[in-house]
Structure 1
Amino acid sequence: MSLQTTEDGRLRHLLTLEGLPRATLVALLDRAQAFIDGEGAADPRTALAGVAACTLFFEPSTRTRLSFQRAAQRLGADVLAFDASTSSTSKGETALDTFRNIEAMGVRGFIVRHREDGAAAMLAASAQPGTAVVNAGDGRSAHPTQGLLDVLSLRQAKGADFGALKVAVVGDIRHSRVARSELHALRALGIGEIRACGPASLLPDDATLAGCSVGGDLDAALDGVDAVFMLRLQRERMEEGLVPSLEAYHRDYGLTAARLRRAAPDAVILHPGPMNRGVEISDEVADGPQSLVLRQVANGVAVRMAVLEALLA
C-alpha cells in the first residue's frame, strides 16, 4: 500500500501523478468532464456538505488557490483559507504543527502548496485516518491537479486517442513541477511523441525526460506538433546566469505567431500561468485562437472538484 492509495486501490491522498495507473487518471478526467457537462442526477453541492477543507498555502498563488476554493464551495464544503503571511508560521511555527492544529479543529481536507520538495507527502504521512492531502505544488516535484487539467484540456481539443499525438514541452523544465506532472500524465495516457525543448541550463539531469526526444532547437521541436506546452521561466527558483537575458531567451525560446506556423495548422497552445508575456510567449499567441489558456483555468475547477470528491466524499 502506498501513501497515496489504500489496499483496494482507492485514492487516499493525491501527491503526484507518478505511478498512478491510467485507469485512475481517466476516471478523474471523466468525472471532471461530467461536472463540466452537468451530467449526473445528484446535486454536486451536497457531495461535501459538512466537510471542512483548508487551502494550506505557504507560497503565493492565484489560479490554484482560487480554483480549489471554488471547487470545494461548489461541492458544498466549508472552506478555510490559510494565509502564511498572517499566520503563526511568521512566529516560527512549523508547517507540521500548523497542519496538526488545523486538523484538530475537524478539518478533513488539506490543499497544500509549499516551497520545499516533499512537503505535501510529509504532511500526508502524519495525517489522521479520514484526512486527505492534495498536493497543490511542492518545490520542483509535482503539481498533480495542474497536470490533470492540462491533459483534460488537450483531450477536449484533440480527442482521447493520445497515441496519435505529437506534443512539445518547451522552456524551463528543470524548475517546473508542472512539467513533471504533465509528463507523468502524458506517458500514462499513451502519448505518441513528446519533444522536450529548452536551453541546456534549464533541462533536468534526472529521469524526468525519460522517453522524450530532447533538443535545444525550438523551430525543430515545433515541426508538425499537435500541441505545445509552454512553461514559465521560473526566475524565483533558479540561480543567476542560467539564461543570458530575457531578450535572448525570448529570441531563442519564445513562442511567436511566426514560430507557431511550424506546428500543425490546428495545433493548440497550453500554458499553466502565470505567463511572462514577451518572454516565453507573445501576446498574439497567448490571446490567439489556438490558445487554451483560459480553458485550462476553467477546467481547473472541474478537475479539482473531481479530486476533492474522490478523496473526501
Structure 2
Amino acid sequence: MRPIKHLFGIADLDREQIEYLVNLGDSFIEINRRPLKKAPTLRGKTIINLFFENSTRTRTSFELAGKRLSADVINISASTSATKKGETLLDTGQTLAAMQPHVLVIRHSLAGTCEFLADYLPNTSLVNAGDGAHEHPTQILTDLLTLKQAWGNPQGKVITMVGDIAHSRVARSHLLAAKKLGYSMRIVAPKTLLPSQIERYGCEVYHDFDAALPGSDAVYMLRVQTERLTDNCAFPSIREYHEAYGLNAKRLRAAGPDCIVMHPGPMNRGVEIATDVADSAKSHILEQVEHGVAIRMAVLAALCGGQAEEKKKTGSKREQSDEAMQAQRTLL
C-alpha cells in the first residue's frame, strides 16, 4: 500500500488506503469503550488542531483521538490565533511547523488550504478537517466505518443523500468514495441547492424526495448551510422545505424496513429531520459520532506511526485492537 503522508481528501486515496483506515478505525472502537481509554501508540508525538471554523464533533474527536493515543495535543481556534492580528495563513502554518509538531489538523473555509500549506511545510503531516465546500475526508471515513458496522461492506448498497448538496463537503467526499468502493448515490435537493453538473459524479439526481426513497439502504440527511448561502431565495420557507425535503417517519417507512438513517451533524430538528426519526432505532447518528473518534485515531496513527501491519481478520475485537496497537508500537 502507498504510504499516507497527508490526508487532503478522499480523491487522493485509493481503495486500499480507504479500507486500511476504516479497518484500523474498527480496531480502535474497543479502546474507546474501555473504562481506561488510553493506549501508548502515539506517546511522544505532537498534534496541533488549527480550526478557523466552528466545530463540535470534528474538533473534539480529533482532540480525544490524540489524547487517547497518548499524544500531546494543542488546540488553536481562529479567534485566539495571530491571524486576528493580520498574520497570513502561510505565516501561521510556518510558525506552527517550526515548533516541530508531527501532525497539523486544519479546518478552514477555503478549499485547498492543506494542499497549499503542504508545499511550505515539508516535515509536517497535514490533515484536512474540512475545507469550504470541497472535502471532509475524516467524516466520510467515519461514515464508512458506521456502514461497515451495519452492513459489513457498502458495495452494491444505495445511499440517498438529501439536502444542501451545493455547499456540502460531505456530499462531495461521499460521491468520490462511492466510485472507489462500488456503492450508489442518489442525490435529492431543490435545484437551488444543487451544484452545476452534479451528474458527472455518476449519481442519480432527484428533486422529488419521495421518488428517491424506494430501494434505499440508507438515507443520509444534510442540513441547509445558511452561513454559506449568498441569498435567502434557496427555498420559500423552512416549513415548505421540511414538507418537501424533511425526513419523517412516513418517508422512512417508504424506504424499506432495513433502511438506516445518518446525519453528519449538527442537526436542525424539524427542518431536515424529525425528532422521532433522529431518535429512532433506525438512526445511526450517535454511532457516527462514536466512530468519528476511532477513525481520527486511525488517521493520526497512520500519519504518525507509518503503515501498520495488516491485522488478521480472525480473532476477537480485543485481539484485533491489541494487534493494531502492537504494530504501531513496533514502528515507533
Give the alignment's TM-score, normalised by structure 2.
Answer: 0.87
Q: 1:24 to 1:149 in 2, by over 3 A?
A: same
Q: Which amino acid aligns with 2:151?
A: K
Q: Which amino acid aligns with 2:194?
A: L
Kindly indicate whether residue 16 of structure 2 is the aligned counterpart of residue 32 of structure 1.
Answer: no
Greater mean alpha carbon deviation, residues 120-129 or residues 274-283: 120-129
Kindly indicate whether residue 192 of structure 2 is the aligned counterpart of residue 201 of structure 1.
Answer: yes
Kindly indicate whether residue 122 of structure 2 is the aligned counterpart of residue 128 of structure 1.
Answer: yes
Q: Percent identity?
A: 48
| Equivalent position to 1:154, from 141, 147, 151 | 147
Q: Which amino acid aligns with 1:115?
A: S
- Say whether the 8 Å CA contact 2:114–2:128 is kept in structure 1: yes
Q: Which amino acid aligns with 1:273?
A: G
Paired with 1:206 and 1:143, the residues of 2 have a C-alpha distance of 20
Alignment partner, residue 244 of structure 1: 236
Q: Secondary structure at the match of 1:277?
A: coil
Q: Deviation of residue 168 (structure 1)?
A: 0.4
Q: 1:72 to 1:207 in 2, by over 3 A?
A: same
- Say whether the 8 Å CA contact 2:199–2:205 is kept in structure 1: no
Q: Deviation of residue 207 (structure 1)?
A: 4.9
Q: 1:206 to 1:77 in 2, by over 3 A?
A: farther
Q: Which amino acid aligns with 2:206?
A: G
Paired with 1:202 and 1:188, the residues of 2 have a C-alpha distance of 25
| Equivalent position to 1:228, from 206, 219, 227 | 219
Superposed CA RMSD: 1.6
Paired with 2:271 and 2:31, the residues of 1 have a C-alpha distance of 38
Alignment partner, residue 271 of structure 1: 263
Q: Secondary structure at the match of 1:26?
A: helix
Paired with 1:258 and 1:267, the residues of 2 have a C-alpha distance of 13
- Say whether the 8 Å CA contact 1:151–1:186 is kept in structure 2: no
- Say whether the 8 Å CA contact 2:175–2:201 is kept in structure 1: no
Kindly indicate whether residue 291 of structure 2 is the aligned counterpart of residue 299 of structure 1.
Answer: yes
Q: Secondary structure at the match of 1:80?
A: strand
Q: Which amino acid aligns with 2:292?
A: G
Alignment partner, residue 172 of structure 2: 180
Q: CA deviation digits over 1:98-121, x for unaligned, max 9?
A: 111111112121110001111121
Alignment partner, residue 5 of structure 1: none
Alignment partner, residue 167 of structure 1: 159
Q: Deviation of residue 228 (structure 1)?
A: 0.8
Q: Which amino acid aligns with 2:211?
A: A
Q: 1:312 to 1:113 in 2, by over 3 A?
A: same
Alignment partner, residue 69 of structure 1: 63
- Say whether the 8 Å CA contact 1:18–1:184 is kept in structure 2: yes
Q: Which amino acid aligns with 2:196?
A: D
Q: Deviation of residue 89 (structure 1)?
A: 1.0
Paired with 1:282 and 1:124, the residues of 2 have a C-alpha distance of 42
Alignment partner, residue 52 of structure 1: 46
- Structure 1 residue runs without a partner (length 5+): 1-7
- Say whether the 8 Å CA contact 2:175–2:203 is kept in structure 1: no
Alignment partner, residue 4 of structure 1: none
- Say whether the 8 Å CA contact 1:151–1:182 is kept in structure 2: no
Give the alignment's TM-score, normalised by structure 1.
Answer: 0.92
Q: Secondary structure at the match of 2:243?
A: helix
- Say whether the 8 Å CA contact 1:285–1:291 is kept in structure 2: yes
Kindly indicate whether residue 208 of structure 2 is the aligned counterpart of residue 217 of structure 1.
Answer: yes
Alignment partner, residue 281 of structure 2: 289
- Say whether the 8 Å CA contact 1:47–1:75 is kept in structure 2: yes
Structure 1 residue runs of 4+, over 6 Å off? none
- Structure 2 residue runs without a partner (length 5+): 306-332
Q: 1:252 to 1:176 in 2, by over 3 A?
A: same
Q: Which amino acid aligns with 2:186?
A: R
